[in-house]
Structure 1
Amino acid sequence: MSRISGAWVMSVFAVTLLVELPASWVVRGIGLPAREVSGSLWQGQAQQLGPVGPLRWAVQPWRLQANAQLGFQGQAWQLRAEGWPWRWRLEATAMGAQATVATDYRLAGQWQGTLRMQGAGRQCRASEGRMTVTDLALSEPWSLGLGQGWLEMDCRSGWHLRGQLVQQGQHELAVDADLPARRAQVMVKLQPEAALTPLLRGVQWLGPQALAGQRDLRW
């Protein structure tokens, strides 16, 4: 057996051992809040994993595919990945309404659409699609209309998630998030009587008299 063949066999063996690890072991190592985790990294489910849940996943290496269905903020989402690490495709689709785990805040409104990306290694080289929402609102801990918006992935200069949220006569928000760098730039424009004004001034995103501004966020 050549060195290349031997390395390939060992790699397959190591990956097989890894994906057969109990999912509950891995979750404990991550440190996220979790409930009712079962299965393995290969195929499993969880009632809650951090702010997400329920969650189901399956990896099918013989088809070069991985799929996940998850619930987040009252809606079901589907993720699909396929291909080799050096030539992959990723797809995220907004599905229908679904009962999901409780969080400190609650959004109401149904997203629609699909985002598609293609790349190699850590590089995203092409993207298409858009997700839209027509009546997004904050329902907990208080009620606040947020308006209509959209999200899309821009791979022209890396992994950039861009979006906009507009409530006619109230506000206009735009975001550009650099996902690998874990930072985002948020631009805000408000009308004089916008419901968002007290909130944004309270968290010091805007000055006492300002109706427009920009904020850099990191996570």
Structure 2
Amino acid sequence: MSRRLWLAGGLVFGLTLLLNLPAAWALRLIDWPPGWQPAQVSGSVWNGQAQQAGALGPLAWQLRPWRAQLETGLAQQHWTLTVSGWPWHWQAQLLPGAAVAGVNSPYLIGGQWQGRLQIDGRGARCVGASGQVQGHDVGLLTPWTLAVGEVRLNVECQQGLQGLADVQREGEHHLQARLETDGGGIRVSGQVTPQAALTPLLVQAGLLKAGDERFEKVFGAVRR
């Protein structure tokens, strides 16, 4: 057998192995944070499923050179994340879908979500963002019941990619969180009333001093 045939055979074997690489084997090579190791994994790296990973589940993904899609359940809702295009011009979209049953998790969040988030980028740079995802009647279901209220999520690209969250329950609290990916930190601020159900939890977490109604806290090195 000629050398060319040996090389062609090796190339076909390598491509076949790569295309059918088991997801369960590949995911075991990753050093996951505690509690986030994917469970009950099946399929391949390119087209697979997992029952749960942390608070997410069930999960299903499809990977192609020009498109990647992840579908999962979170906060009693089905979510679809799609990234398409090429490194020099790509687009990411996040869409909430139908309600789903929650996976086993110490914290379970419920609510009704709608909207769309879109990010346009070139290389590692975010060049545009649009849309908003809104959560109505959002609340903590376990380990205890707590009404959170209305939630708005959006992103900005003016000074690098930033994620913004606004949480409000009329007459009780108004919280805001900003994730600055370039600065590597999260800035959380808010205002609460003394009778707000969230006040004791914020005090216990060290975000709010007893007797205060306003707070601001930075986690990580947020760029000034």
TM-score (norm 2): 0.85
Match of 1:74?
76
The reply on whether 1:23 has 2:23 as its aligned counterpart is yes
Q: 1:135, 1:38 → 2: CA distance?
A: 35
CA contact under 8 A between 2:110 and 2:141: conserved in structure 1?
Answer: yes
For the structure 1 residues 193 and 89, does the alpha-carbon distance in structure 2 shift closer, same or farther, using more than 3 Å as the test? same
CA contact under 8 A between 2:149 and 2:168: conserved in structure 1?
Answer: yes
Match of 1:112?
114
Work out which of the residue numbers 41, 55, 60 in structure 2 matches 1:51.
55
The reply on whether 1:125 has 2:124 as its aligned counterpart is no
For the structure 1 residues 34 and 192, does the alpha-carbon distance in structure 2 shift closer, same or farther, using more than 3 Å as the test? same
Q: How many residues align?
A: 205
What's the CA shift for 1:128? 0.4
SS in 2 for 1:157: coil
For the structure 1 residues 15 and 214, does the alpha-carbon distance in structure 2 shift closer, same or farther, using more than 3 Å as the test? farther
Q: Which runs of 5+ in 2 are unaligned?
A: 1-13
Q: Which amino acid aligns with 1:37?
A: V
Q: 2:124, 2:17 → 1: CA distance?
A: 24
Q: Which amino acid aligns with 1:27?
A: L
For the structure 1 residues 180 and 97, does the alpha-carbon distance in structure 2 shift closer, same or farther, using more than 3 Å as the test? farther
Q: 1:57, 1:167 → 2: CA distance?
A: 35
The reply on whether 1:38 has 2:28 as its aligned counterpart is no
Match of 2:158?
156
Q: 2:198, 2:186 → 1: CA distance?
A: 20
Work out which of the residue numbers 66, 89, 92 in structure 2 matches 1:90.
92
SS in 2 for 1:156: coil
What's the CA shift for 1:180? 4.9
For the structure 1 residues 179 and 100, does the alpha-carbon distance in structure 2 shift closer, same or farther, using more than 3 Å as the test? farther
For the structure 1 residues 15 and 205, does the alpha-carbon distance in structure 2 shift closer, same or farther, using more than 3 Å as the test? farther
Q: Which runs of 5+ in 1 are unaligned?
A: 1-13
What's the CA shift for 1:133? 1.2
Work out which of the residue numbers 147, 150, 173 in structure 1 matches 2:149.
147
What's the CA shift for 1:16? 8.4
TM-score (norm 1): 0.86
| CA deviation map 1:94-146 (0-9, x unaligned) | 11101231111111102111101110111111010000012111111111111
CA contact under 8 A between 2:174 and 2:191: conserved in structure 1?
Answer: yes
Higher radius of gyration, 1 or 2: 2
Q: Which amino acid aligns with 1:46?
A: A
